Amino acid sequence: MALDQSTIVELAQWLQSPAGRYVRRWEQVQVDAMVANVFGYHAIQIGLPEWDLLSANRMPFKARTHQESSPGNRAAGVSLVLEPENLPFDSDSVDLLVMPHVLECSSSPHQILREAERVLVPEGRLVMTGFNPWSLWGLRESIPGLDPLLPSPVHQQVSVARLKDWCKLLQLEIDRGRFGCYAPLCQTQKWLERWAFMEHAGDRWWPVCGAAYAVSAVKRVAGMRLVAPAWKRKRKRRERRQAAVASRQAYESGDAAGRQGAAIAATSTERAMEIIQHESGSRV
């Protein structure tokens, strides 16, 4: 299993801290907006089952999964236990996939993306969240000598630029995304509230430096058009030309026949008039 279980457990615990609740509130708003109008039949959330990120979606079947089996899974709303690197779903069978902080907890994020692309239906949607290494939080975690405060180290965090490059290699097109959480990394709610003014300032002046991001990608499948061989195309063009010539000849022959009939009719009429006039003169 490529997922680091210790990182997953630490992430779930960290989300209960003041900084974790701060990130969680922001990501909940962004994900709700991204999944609200996604329609289909099957919606799956990979990881963090105690955090319902499918609540705003209206699909008939919604499931939350976990990476390990535990007695508390049922209470957390877990429907499936699976590995994100080997999803137990058929190809082209899932309409919506939500992956909160999954890539940064794995040693093979490329394989997770490949599996997500495989199981999504054409025009299916993939929603991902993660920590941004190019932020104040990432800068703080990169300073030597300071104790790390984030559950995932900076070298495991996947930037949006790298994520875009990976998606280009697959049939995934990122069509929307947001950065957020611009306040410094504080351990208390009091200091987070004091830095709350940086949310609006950061969104305006340094938008790509938010501590967290949420992106949405669509699986694009190119359409296929069957092209006939060249000799078939030439034969069809020749048949069309022959049909056009035949129809023109038929029209012209019909015209000639019509003119001949009119001439015969006119001659017959003149002959009849002459006979009538001759008979009239004889009577006189």
DSSP 3: B
pLDDT digits (tens, 9 = 90+) for 68-83: 766 666 656 677 888 9
pLDDT digits (tens, 9 = 90+) for 12-64: 899 999 999 999 999 999 999 999 999 999 999 998 988 999 999 999 999 99
pLDDT digits (tens, 9 = 90+) for 134-175: 999 999 999 988 888 998 889 999 999 999 999 999 989 999
Sequence-distant (6+) residues with CB within 8 A of 112 are: 84, 85, 99, 102, 103, 106
* Number of residues in the chain: 284
Name the burial class of residue 237, with classes exposed (0-12), middle (13-18) and buried (19+) by CB atoms within 10 angstroms of its CB: exposed
**Pairwise CA distance, residues 239 & 128, whole Å:** 56
